Amino acid sequence: MVFWIGALIFAVSTLMFAFIENRSHRRNMFNSHVFVSFFTAISYFVMALALATVSAENGQPIYWTRWLFYIGSCSILTLDIATIAKKPNVKKAEVAVFTALTMFCGFLASIIITVDRWWFFGLSTAAYIGMLYTLFKHSNDENSISSIMWFVMLTWSLFPVVWVLAPTGFGILAVDVEAILYLALDLVTKIGFGIYISKMRHYN
Amino acid sequence: MVFWIGALIFAVSTLMFAFIENRSHRRNMFNSHVFVSFFTAISYFVMALALATVSAENGQPIYWTRWLFYIGSCSILTLDIATIAKKPNVKKAEVAVFTALTMFCGFLASIIITVDRWWFFGLSTAAYIGMLYTLFKHSNDENSISSIMWFVMLTWSLFPVVWVLAPTGFGILAVDVEAILYLALDLVTKIGFGIYISKMRHYN
Amino acid sequence: MVFWIGALIFAVSTLMFAFIENRSHRRNMFNSHVFVSFFTAISYFVMALALATVSAENGQPIYWTRWLFYIGSCSILTLDIATIAKKPNVKKAEVAVFTALTMFCGFLASIIITVDRWWFFGLSTAAYIGMLYTLFKHSNDENSISSIMWFVMLTWSLFPVVWVLAPTGFGILAVDVEAILYLALDLVTKIGFGIYISKMRHYN
Mutation target vs C (from A68, A75, A90; most C CBs, 10 A cutoff): A90
Q: What is the pLDDT of residue B143?
A: 63
Q: In whole angstroms, give the CA distance from residue A14 to residue C142.
A: 51
User: Could you say which residues from 5 to 64 on chain C have a Cβ atom under 8 Å away from some Cβ of chain A?
Assistant: 14, 18, 27-31, 34-35, 38-39, 41-42, 45-46, 49, 51
When pLDDT is cut at 50, 70 and 90, the band that residue C69 belongs to is: very high
Q: What is the pLDDT of residue C157?
A: 94
Query: What is the torsional sign of CA A107, A94, C31, C161?
Result: positive
Judged against a pLDDT cut of 60, whether residue A176 lies above it is answered with: yes
The residues, ordered by sequence, that sit 6+ positions from A66 with a Cβ below 8 Å of its Cβ are A43, A47, A110, A182
Q: In whole angstroms, give the CA distance from residue B131 to residue B104.
A: 14
Q: In whole angstroms, give the CA distance from residue A143 to residue A80.
A: 17
Q: In whole angstroms, give the CA distance from residue A165 to residue B41.
A: 46
What is the rounded average pLDDT of the residues C79-102? 92
Closest approach of B103 to chain A, Cα-based (Å): 13
Comparing alpha-carbon positions, the chain A residue that sits nearest to C19 is A130
Mutation target vs B (from A10, A35, A71, A75; most B CBs, 10 A cutoff): A35
CA atoms within 13 A on the CB side of A112: 20
Any alpha helices (H) in chain C, and if so which ranges?
A: 2-23, 32-48, 65-84, 89-111, 117-136, 143-156, 158-165, 175-186, 193-203
Q: What is the pLDDT of residue A111?
A: 93
Q: How far is CA A34 from the centre of its chain?
A: 14
Phi and psi dihedrals of B55, rounded to 5? -95, 130
Comparing alpha-carbon positions, the chain B residue that sits nearest to A31 is B94
Closest approach of A90 to chain C, Cα-based (Å): 5
Around Cβ A100, how many Cβ atoms within 10 Å? 19
Q: What is the mean pLDDT of each run of 10 residues along chain B (204 residues)?
A: 94 92 74 94 94 87 94 95 88 95 96 93 96 82 73 93 94 92 95 88 66
Closest alpha carbon to B201 in B28, B14, B75, B13: B28
Provide, as residue numbers in chain B, all residues whose Cβ is less than 8 Å from the Cβ of A18.
Answer: 130
CA angle, B64 then A33 then B65, to 5°: 10
User: Among A8-12, C43-47, C137-141, which stretch is predicted with the lowest mean pLDDT?
Assistant: C137-141
Exposure string of B154-166, with b = 16+ CB inside 10 Å and e = fewer, is eebeebbebbebb
User: Could you say which residues from 141 to 200 on chain C have a Cβ atom under 8 Å away from some Cβ of chain B?
Assistant: none
Judged against a pLDDT cut of 80, whether residue A145 lies above it is answered with: no
**Residue range C10-38, pLDDT digits in tens:** 999 999 999 888 777 666 778 899 999 99
Predicted TM-score of the model (pTM): 0.92
Around Cβ A60, how many Cβ atoms within 10 Å? 17
Closest alpha carbon to B32 in B186, B195, B150, B142: B195
Cα dihedral A102, A103, A106, A112 in deg (nearest 10): -130
Give the CA distances from residue A154 to residues A122, A127, A157, B49, C26, in Å, rounded to whole numbers and listed in that order: 19, 16, 5, 50, 30
CB-nearest partner of A105 from C29, C42, C49 = C42
**Residue range C115-138, pLDDT digits in tens:** 999 999 999 999 999 999 998 887
Q: In whole angstroms, give the CA distance from residue B129 to residue B125.
A: 6
**Residue range C159-202, pLDDT digits in tens:** 999 999 999 999 899 999 999 999 999 999 999 999 988 887 76
Instruction: For chain A, report the end-to-end CA distance as a whole number of angstroms.
Output: 40
Q: In whole angstroms, give the CA distance from residue A73 to residue A32.
A: 9
Query: CB-based contact (8 Å) between A138 and chain C?
Result: yes
**Residue range C146-169, pLDDT digits in tens:** 788 888 889 999 999 999 999 999
Provide, as residue numbers in chain A, all residues whose Cβ is less than 8 Å from the Cβ of C46.
Answer: 108
Provide, as residue numbers in chain A, all residues whose Cβ is less than 8 Å from the Cβ of B105.
Answer: 42
Q: Which helix (H) or strand (E) holds C55?
A: strand C54-55
* β-strand pairing of C61-62 with C54-55: antiparallel
Q: What is the pLDDT of residue B147?
A: 82
Q: What is the pLDDT of residue A203?
A: 65
Q: What is the pLDDT of residue C25?
A: 64
Q: What is the pLDDT of residue B146?
A: 75
Q: In whole angstroms, give the CA distance from residue C110 to residue C169.
A: 9
Provide, as residue numbers in chain A, all residues whose Cβ is less than 8 Å from the Cβ of C35.
Answer: 94, 97, 101
Exposure string of A188-204, with b = 16+ CB inside 10 Å and e = fewer, is ebbbebbeebbeeeeee
